[in-house]
Homo-oligomer: A and B are copies of this chain.
């Protein structure tokens, strides 16, 4: 450490919110170069390389072959698949000196597709799994949390190519298995959860989430083992109700009832039910949203959902593209006052679908002409209190299917703890996590756009079916730091730590400094990796603090009792210390490493 390029910091970096970010910077593992862009210092690079190697081994084990693509790529292939546009502001774009368009690749589906097209031509060449461990770019709107959401980062991305759905299933299963092994070897807790495909396209997809309060993703799980990203949860749709005897709807005066709470209070007071009180779940809330697709067009739509739930914009984004027939993952935000002004048929606070199927207000056939989508819970026969499209008026007893309809159903409502799991495995709980990996069955989307076909057994050209599979390598490092630290600093698993043993020369006497150096040599000769704190003018207190901060799994202190042939061996995680004889040090270290 007297020569190591390292300075530890006492203060957290000002922009750091999560512990991994704070500790990795304070311990001198990484250093910020620009927003979301980090430099790797010697200790950090050492951990990163070890993680890369574990990922590499996991991929090699399933027969994937390593290649390496450029980060700087021409526009054309991304244009062909539509992603040049779809990525929007998230894509770093640039021009070369001749004015040709380039991008810094966020992921490489297009290039792998073209490479396979370039080299292969027959079903006999398949399946093939290819991967790379490579620098990726994403111009995040809000780079944050250090390595957890950066703009330049390392990913392992792999791609599978086959001609049959079964082949794709097998490749997907092999990657899923490999990912579970890789994360196990990294010592990183992950949970595979169902996910939506997003800008990637394709059908089946799972995320590997590391459960953590610092995570940006919300997911659900059930006691029976169901787990999904919130965007991917499908609502359990109730059976339609018989509405033969339902009383007719009635428009009533509801002055100043522009919120669900006010409305519920008002109807309970002025129009009470016999069986039970009205609740928010009896109201149909109609929310106006602005949807901007990859084409840049801003579309105004209305979604209707039970008043006891908020709109979940991410769930809308994941699903409304298909409902509107524009595909992809559009941006969705609440409509603005300006948006509303353009649609005077919408009476703010009193919006409803209309009181009769013959005279709809919402929906493409309604008087407003605005597309109208319902939460899947609003099945035929359900009865609602909702807006009557006139100031201070609501309608009571409006029956879905009898009095109103919509252009379709869209998952637009928030998932609540206690909602049933779609597979019947019990009530959902809601948790937060970090996305560590993502596997996709892409199908033929990319192969079709880029013309990747091979001859099948009958000599007929067939389009290749693909999968794509990613692991965030730098992000995994941050997650491991997030999972394994205490208030004093990092605590690395033994197989990922920059060194297995941190020897502290606790004293300025030559005897101590030399003793520590000799011990370091001995342990290294015995095959252990050692970080030696031989800084001659640094106090033992500062050295102890640095040892805790840097986080090697075992700390050996050469100090006061060294004269009597003893040193202290400390387990970084538990904090337990033992004094051992010099000839017992290696054994004591190995015992701790075995449990670290």
Contacts and interface: CB of A to CB of B under 8 A. Distances in A.
Contacts of A562: none
A65 B4 contact: yes
B93 A37 contact: no
Contacts of A139: 96-97
A118 interface: yes
Interface stretch (A66-74, A396-404, A432-440): A66-74
A152 interface: yes
B34 A65 contact: no
A48 B3 CA distance: 30
Nearest to A102: B34
B104 A97 contact: no
A37 to B, nearest CB: 5
Contact of A39 (B37, B48, B67, B92): B67
B5 A73 contact: no
A98 to B, nearest CB: 9
A124 to B, nearest CB: 9
Given A40-B68, A89-B97, A111-B39, A73 B33 contact: yes
Contacts of A37: 70, 72-73
Contacts of A31: 115, 118-119
Contact of A92 (B38, B72, B111): B72
A70 B38 CA distance: 6
A427 interface: no
A183 interface: no
Contact of A93 (B7, B90, B94): B94
B67 A42 contact: yes
A233 to B, nearest CB: 30
A152 B71 contact: yes
A90 B5 CA distance: 32
A563 interface: no
A120 B71 contact: no
A135 interface: yes
Nearest to A38: B70
A69 B33 contact: yes
A71 B71 contact: yes
Given A63-B3, A111-B33, A152 B41 contact: no
Contact of A97 (B6, B68, B141): B141
Given A72-B151, A73-B33, A92-B72, A5 B39 contact: no
B96 A68 contact: no
B135 A69 contact: no
Nearest to A112: B39
Contact of A34 (B66, B70, B89): B70
A45 interface: yes
B130 A33 contact: no
**Copy number of this protein in the oligomer?**
2
Nearest to A114: B33
A128 interface: yes
A372 interface: no
A41 to B, nearest CB: 6
Contacts of A67: 5, 39-42, 45
A137 interface: yes
B115 A7 contact: no
Q: Report, as a range, how many residues of chain A touch the other chain.
A: 35 or more
Given A65-B5, A119-B5, A72 B152 contact: yes
Nearest to A93: B94
A7 B119 contact: yes
Interface in A43-67: 45, 48, 63, 65-67
Contacts of A73: 33-34, 37
Interface string A194-238: 000000000000000000000000000000000000000000000
A28 B96 CA distance: 27
Nearest to A140: B97
A152 B115 contact: no
Nearest to A37: B70
A81 to B, nearest CB: 16
A135 B135 CA distance: 9
B93 A66 contact: no
Contact of A70 (B33, B70, B128): B33
Contacts of A4: 65
Nearest to A34: B74
A7 B66 contact: no
A130 B42 CA distance: 9
Given A34-B102, A94-B92, A94-B93, A39 B68 contact: yes
A137 B72 contact: yes
A167 to B, nearest CB: 15
A4 B115 CA distance: 14
Given A5-B119, A45-B66, A70-B152, 18 more contacts: A4-B65, A6-B119, A31-B115, A33-B73, A34-B72, A34-B102, A37-B70, A37-B72, A38-B70, A40-B67, A42-B66, A42-B67, A45-B67, A45-B68, A71-B71, A89-B97, A94-B104, A97-B139
20 contacts: A3-B128, A5-B65, A6-B119, A7-B120, A31-B115, A33-B73, A33-B74, A34-B72, A34-B74, A34-B102, A38-B70, A39-B115, A40-B68, A40-B69, A42-B66, A48-B68, A71-B135, A71-B152, A92-B102, A97-B141
Interface of A: 3-7, 28, 31, 33-34, 37-42, 45, 48, 63, 65-74, 89-90, 92-94, 96-97, 102, 104, 111, 115, 118-120, 128, 130, 135, 137, 139, 141, 151-152
